[in-house]
Amino acid sequence: MQVDIQVRQLPPSRSLKVYTQRRIRFALTRFEERIQRVSMWLSDVNGPKGGKDKHCRLHVALAGNTSIVIEDIHENLYVAINRAIDRAGQSLVRKLDRQQSRLQRSRTVMFDSSVTA
- Distance from chain centroid for Cα 29: 11
- 71 in helix, strand or coil? strand
CATH value at residue 51: 3.30.160.100
pLDDT tens-digit readout, 66-101: 899 999 999 999 999 999 999 999 999 998 888 888
Does residue 52 lie in a domain region?
Answer: yes
- 49 in helix, strand or coil? helix
Exposed, middle or buried by CB within 10 Å (0-12, 13-18, 19+), for 5?
A: middle
Does residue 13 lie in a domain region?
Answer: yes
Q: Is the pLDDT of residue 117 over 70?
A: no
Does residue 85 lie in a domain region?
Answer: yes
Domain that holds residue 60: 2-92
Assessment of whether the complete model's pTM goes beyond 0.85: no
Does residue 97 lie in a domain region?
Answer: no
- Quote the number of domains for the chain: 1
pLDDT tens-digit readout, 58-68: 999 998 888 99
Does residue 44 lie in a domain region?
Answer: yes
Does residue 111 lie in a domain region?
Answer: no
Closest C-alpha among 49, 52, 54 to residue 8: 54
